[in-house]
Amino acid sequence: MSIENLKITATLRSPLVGDPPYLDALLTYELGFKMHKFEDMKFNKSTPIEKIERLPIPLTQCEINGVKVNSCSDPIFIIKTEWHDKLSKRFETDRLSLLIDPNKRKNITPGTGHLKSRWQPLHAKLVDKIVWFARGDAKECRRLLKGIVSLGYYRKIGYGLVAKWEVEKIENNYSVFADNKIMKTLPISNKIKNYEGYRISYGACVPPYWHPGNFQEVVIPC
């Protein structure tokens, strides 16, 4: 594996719903499918964190306060504008019933189940590009990222479509720290006292970010 400092850019061609993902989470997700790790295993928040394998994504790691975090910054992006879309669904019983044989019609409950009506607001953001700084293998990162065609939530209805991925080699390593700034969500430690531009929170700093077994006090760049 050839280790280099990288700037990774995702150019979007449709609005984004939700926050941009962490780069190491994206790589873990794609690598897991390529290694057939997710075919027979169903993970949820009650699964012990020890049973969830940490996959060998093509990024280096650094240890902070006993935690090995991946060398990749949090997503960097600019919201040009934002708005609320509406996700709607309704089963038109008065019209669709005319297509059914009168002898085979029956009562349904559109208030529950898969026929339930929806009028759900979606917080959409217009984001041209999302940038991550990382340290790892450029070739392997390109190979994994080219299979990711959309980001965020509601991808199946066209949000967060990726127009192209760019993986560039750069001179300096901005994956975790840049000058006196913190670039990545990290566990609280004495090491970060000399840095600025962060807020203290509670959450995860390694994949899977949604699992409570990874939650601890963290610092988040801002």
Residue 131 located in a structural domain: yes
Specify which residues 92 forms β-bridges with.
none
Residue 100 located in a structural domain: no
Residue of 135, 111, 128, 129 lying closest to 183 (CA atoms): 135
Residue 36 located in a structural domain: yes
Give pLDDT tens digits along the chain (222 positions).
689 999 999 999 999 999 999 999 999 989 988 887 766 567 788 888 888 888 899 999 999 888 999 999 999 999 999 999 888 877 777 777 777 777 777 777 767 777 777 788 889 999 999 999 999 999 999 999 999 999 999 999 899 999 999 999 999 999 999 988 999 999 998 878 788 888 999 999 999 999 999 999 999 998
Structural domains of the chain, count: 1
Residue 47 located in a structural domain: yes
CATH of the domain at 134: 3.30.70
Residue 191 located in a structural domain: no
Domain assignment of residue 132, given as a range: 4-82+122-175
Residue 207 located in a structural domain: no
**Cα of 89 vs its chain's centroid, Å:** 26
Residue 154 located in a structural domain: yes
Prediction pTM value: 0.84
Residue 9 located in a structural domain: yes
Residue of 211, 216, 214, 215 lying closest to 43 (CA atoms): 211
